[in-house]
């Protein structure tokens, strides 16, 4: 099956690579010349384990090529995947301008029957509008069908996710398009959900919003556990063993981030309000996610006071999650900005996201370190903000020796609190009543008492 993939972001580049690896001739298209040049030279614009090997192998074997010419890609193919970005606009809705302009250009370059497939995450009704745009701009008398084929891959394991999906979803009102796309995926032996366009579009938003809700539920449970003296990690484990709940996405932390969940949850809320429905639960999820990082920061301020100008902190983790260099909507980056805003100096390290972080944070007040232990030198406390595996196996004796004070704020519950506390650290986690929490509570009680005393004297 001759395939054209428009857009070489996470979804497009991984899609093009894997489709060609399955034996289909694929042309990847992107209007960004620099990006295309880099990919052709084997330099991936994103960090994704296993991706560059697959791209290089298939380029070499001649089944994968890249171009900046959409016309060339469209003319050569029978299936065209639209994988361009749909960022969040001011209103919370998805900005679909890139989808519209690609649809128009595809229409102008049609030279025979084609299936136009939208893989980008798009709100309900978008595929129908794409169909209309193509009809209105069609060159000549070509027949075509539109299909929705949302992508569920996770950054950091997208190659594996695409090769081994839980399901593929194909929406179309054309049996011919459904059958063409079925033949692309059926060799995987995984469930294929065939449905109408609108349901396919909705499955993607429903899935992302549900996962974000799952994380948010655990984050709120964490608040209750911390106050009530329970341990959220144990509670999550106990819940997750119930097959109806499942243990995925039950890790409490500083809130979800990334280029998908925040934008997709907001877009679903916008879709529901456009349909005159106030999606209460989703609204709650957005609000709780925002307060989750604020609550984490409150602990810092309750411990040190509001002014952090005489502090230096070691920060491990800047990416929005582990195994990626992506810092879009990264809660770690937001926390770094808050700490710097309160006057703290920061020594930061992330295994992959240093370059991207530097572009956003600049040099002011930030020292970019070469490895995790270097961040500790001259620092008053350690912050763990991204769930990289390598941070879970820190040599804690070394950490204690290097830090100026043995204090850890663990925003991802990566460390074992018993071990950390037994080594003499003051430890803060999420959803656990650790010795750090007890210290700030004592301090709060003490300062309230002083305040009361002062008031009595006046």
Contact 70, 105 (CB under 8 A): yes
Look at residue 284 and give its three-state secondary structure.
helix
# residues near ligand UGA by CB under 6 A: 22
Contact flag: residue 120 with ligand UGA (CB under 6 A): no
**Binding test (CB under 6 A) with ligand UGA, winner from 20, 121, 127, 352:** 121
Contact flag: residue 258 with ligand UGA (CB under 6 A): yes
Contact flag: residue 154 with ligand UGA (CB under 6 A): yes
Taking contact as CB under 6 A, which single stretch among the options 130-138, 208-216, 299-307, 365-373 is the one that binds ligand UGA?
208-216
Contact flag: residue 216 with ligand UGA (CB under 6 A): no
**Binding test (CB under 6 A) with ligand UGA, winner from 152, 295, 338, 373:** 152
The token pair at 24 is: 């289909």
Contact flag: residue 409 with ligand UGA (CB under 6 A): no
Contact flag: residue 151 with ligand UGA (CB under 6 A): yes
Q: How far apart are CA 161 and CA 248, in angstroms?
A: 15
Q: Which is nearer to ligand UGA, 47 or 320 (CB)?
A: 320
CB of residue 208 vs ligand UGA: minimum separation in angstroms?
5
Q: Which is nearer to ligand UGA, 206 or 445 (CB)?
A: 206
Nearest CA-CA partner of 290 in 340, 335, 323? 335
Q: Is 195 a catalytic residue?
A: no
Q: How far apart are CA 233 and CA 361, in angstroms?
A: 32
How many CA atoms, within 13 angstroms, populate the side-chain half-sphere of residue 350?
27
**Binding test (CB under 6 A) with ligand UGA, winner from 7, 85, 123, 257:** 257
Look at residue 123 and give its three-state secondary structure.
coil
Catalytic residue among 4, 83, 260, 369: 260
Contact flag: residue 233 with ligand UGA (CB under 6 A): no
Q: How far apart are CA 431 and CA 229, in angstroms?
A: 9
CA distances from 161 to 58, 85, 157, 167, 185 (A): 19, 20, 6, 10, 13
Q: How far apart are CA 437 and CA 428, in angstroms?
A: 6
Nearest CA-CA partner of 336 in 400, 254, 224? 254
CB of residue 305 vs ligand UGA: minimum separation in angstroms?
28
Q: How far apart are CA 242 and CA 181, in angstroms?
A: 35
What residues are paired with 278 via a beta bridge? none
Contact flag: residue 317 with ligand UGA (CB under 6 A): no
Q: Which is nearer to ligand UGA, 144 or 391 (CB)?
A: 391
| Interaction site with ligand UGA (CB under 6 A) | 121, 151-155, 208, 211, 215, 249-251, 253, 256-258, 260-261, 264, 320-321, 387
Q: Active-site residue numbers? A: 260
């Amino acid at each position: 099956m001759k395939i054209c993939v428009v857009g070489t972001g996470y979804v497009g580049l991984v899609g093009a690579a894997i489709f060609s690896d399955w034996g289909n001739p694929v042309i990847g298209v992107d209007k960004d010349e620099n990006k295309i040049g880099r990919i052709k030279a084997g330099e991936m614009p994103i960090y994704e384990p296993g991706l560059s090997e697959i791209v290089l192998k298939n380029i070499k074997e001649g089944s994968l090529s890249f171009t900046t010419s959409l016309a060339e890609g469209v003319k050569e193919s029978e299936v065209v995947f639209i994988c361009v970005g749909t960022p969040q606009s001011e209103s919370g809705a998805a900005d679909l301008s890139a989808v519209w302009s690609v649809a128009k250009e595809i229409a102008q370059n049609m030279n025979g029957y084609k299936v136009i497939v939208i893989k980008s995450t798009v709100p309900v009704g978008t595929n129908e509008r794409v169909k209309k745009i193509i009809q209105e701009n069609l060159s000549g008398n070509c027949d075509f069908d539109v299909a929705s084929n949302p992508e569920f891959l996770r950054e950091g394991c997208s190659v594996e996710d695409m090769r081994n999906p839980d399901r593929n979803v194909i929406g179309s009102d054309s049996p011919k398009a459904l059958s063409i796309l079925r033949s692309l995926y059926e060799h995987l032996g995984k469930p294929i959900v065939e449905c109408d366009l609108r349901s396919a579009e909705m499955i993607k938003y429903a899935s992302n919003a549900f996962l974000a809700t799952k994380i948010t539920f655990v984050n709120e449970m964490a608040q209750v556990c911390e106050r009530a003296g329970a341990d959220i990690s144990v509670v999550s484990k106990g819940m997750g063993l119930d097959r109806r709940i499942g243990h995925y996405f039950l890790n409490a932390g500083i809130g979800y981030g990334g280029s998908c969940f925040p934008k997709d949850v907001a877009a679903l809320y916008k879709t529901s309000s456009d349909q005159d429905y106030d999606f209460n639960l989703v609204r709650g999820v957005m609000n709780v996610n925002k307060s989750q990082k604020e609550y984490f920061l409150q602990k810092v301020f309750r411990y040190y006071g509001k002014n952090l100008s005489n502090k230096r902190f070691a920060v491990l983790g800047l990416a929005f999650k582990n195994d990626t260099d992506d810092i879009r909507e990264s809660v770690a980056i937001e926390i770094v900005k808050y700490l710097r805003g309160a006057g703290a100096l920061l020594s930061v390290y992330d295994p992959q996201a240093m370059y991207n972080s530097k572009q956003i944070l600049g040099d002011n007040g930030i020292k970019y370190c070469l490895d995790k232990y270097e961040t500790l030198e001259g620092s008053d406390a350690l912050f763990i903000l991204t769930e990289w595996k390598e941070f879970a196996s820190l040599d804690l004796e070394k950490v204690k020796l290097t830090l100026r004070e043995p204090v850890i704020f663990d925003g991802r519950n990566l460390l074992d609190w018993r071990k950390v506390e037994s080594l003499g650290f003051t430890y803060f986690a999420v959803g656990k009543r650790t010795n750090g929490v007890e210290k700030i509570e004592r301090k709060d009680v003490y300062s309230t008492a002083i305040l009361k005393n002062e008031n009595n004297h006046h």
